[in-house]
Amino acid sequence: MVGALVYGESKLFSSFLGVGANHLLRSRLPVHQLFANNPGGKHVSMQLPKALSGLTNLFFSRRNLDEMQNTKRKRLRPGKISPRLPVPDNIPRPPYVKSKQPPGIASGPEVHDEKGIECMRASGRLAAQVLEYAGTLVKPGIMTDDIDKAVHQMIIDNGAYPSPLGYGGFPKSVCTSVNECICHGIPDSRALEDGDIINIDVTVYLNGYHGDTSATFFCGDVGDEARKLVQVTKECLDKAISICAPGVEFKKIGKIIHDHADKHRYGVVRQFVGHGVGRVFHADPVILHFRNNDGGRMVLNQTFTIEPMLTIGSKNPVMWDDNWTVVTEDGSLSAQFEHTILITNDGAEILTRC
């Protein structure tokens, strides 16, 4: 999942917290203690220490969703969410499911021995296969809930657990983020429409290791503006992966992504980040997708995600009352791509590729 909480993560999921939030990311506060919404309202606030409370507006806009400017495209609205799907008892669960407690961000990088690398390759390969299959389902008229059911079934048929399910209370097995949804969209009864774009974020837990990936797909006849955004977002991910190798500074990822986005005048979402992934869903390091001066260098046999989110208009996020779905402040389109990579002697190996 996105980011480093949130799903996050964050992608939940690393995409879930980002900039300025490095201190928060390295805290072990669970999701529900970081965010709270006003019942009946459309705003979200972060539960921060007093020293950080002034940063709230850097994370989430206070703007009312109903006050967004009109566009020809219909704005997303919550649909009906079906009951949580069951997982066979014989399939191992991540620890956070058994404890029923929202996990914090694990400190320390995910660095693997030979056996761990093979496990990461297996989980990454399955995640890629599931994502590829999910993409074939995208067509006008299909409900995102139907995509969730298909993804869920494929994952459990392969003896794996859908990592988002039960993570911090997330009710589904995959994230489906349509049009202006930046990340962490909850599959529901909304049917996809001709011209939509949809990011599908898949994470599987197989043999004790998580594989995390996402891609943005076209639904029917998609306009040139949306197609270009999706293309450039994919290019940002590819460029970032191309510079990864032992000893490379993590901040170079943010620079190359931000530079390419600027060239095309797209916004880069800052609040959601990439993250270490492996035996735990979200771990160090926090991968920022914009220019920054954070320290840290890549090490051999380390695994982490890169998952840039670009927008055509405002890069400021608004969170729905479900405490998961994050949309652009102005309703403009957003796109995202994500891979889990392994740092090798020769550079980086993409683990989430079929």
Nearest CA among 63, 28, 26 for reference residue 44? 63
Q: How far apart are CA 59 and CA 46, in angstroms?
A: 8
d(CA 24, CA 167): 18
Rounded to whole angstroms, how far apart are CA atoms 179 and 73?
9
- Residue 301's identity, in one-letter code, is N
Going by C-alpha positions, the residue among 271, 277, 334, 335 that lies closest to residue 306 is 277
**307 has binding-site annotation:** yes
**Annotated binding-site residue? 118:** no
Report the chain's terminal Cα–Cα distance, integer Å. Answer: 18
Check if the beta carbon of residue 261 is closer than 8 Å to that of residue 236. yes
Instruction: Answer yes or no: is 329 a known binding residue.
Output: no
260 is in an annotated binding site: no
235 is in an annotated binding site: no
For residue 212, what is the DSSP state?
E
DSSP letter string, 68-120:
SPP-SSPPP---PPPPPPP--TTSPPPHHHHH-S---PEEEE-B--HHHHHHH
Closest of 346, 258, 352, 257 to residue 303, by C-alpha: 352
Establish whether 193 is an annotated binding residue. no
Angle, CA 188 vertex, CA 186 and CA 192 arms, to 5°: 105
Q: Are strands 106-109 and 283-287 parallel, antiparallel or unpaired?
A: parallel
DSSP 8-class letter at 169 = G
If DSSP codes are grouped into helix, strand and coil, which group holds residue 349? strand
The answer to whether the beta carbons of residues 47 and 302 sit under 8 Å apart is no
In the block, residue with structure tokens 């639904």: 219
Q: Which residues pair with 212 in a beta bridge?
A: 203
339 is annotated as contributing to ligand binding: no
Q: Which residue has the tokens 């009710």?
A: 171
Angle between helices 251-263 and 224-242 (to 10 degrees): 150
Bind-site residues for substrate: 184, 282
Bind-site residues: 184, 201, 212, 275, 282, 307, 338
Bind-site residues for a divalent metal cation: 201, 212, 275, 307, 338
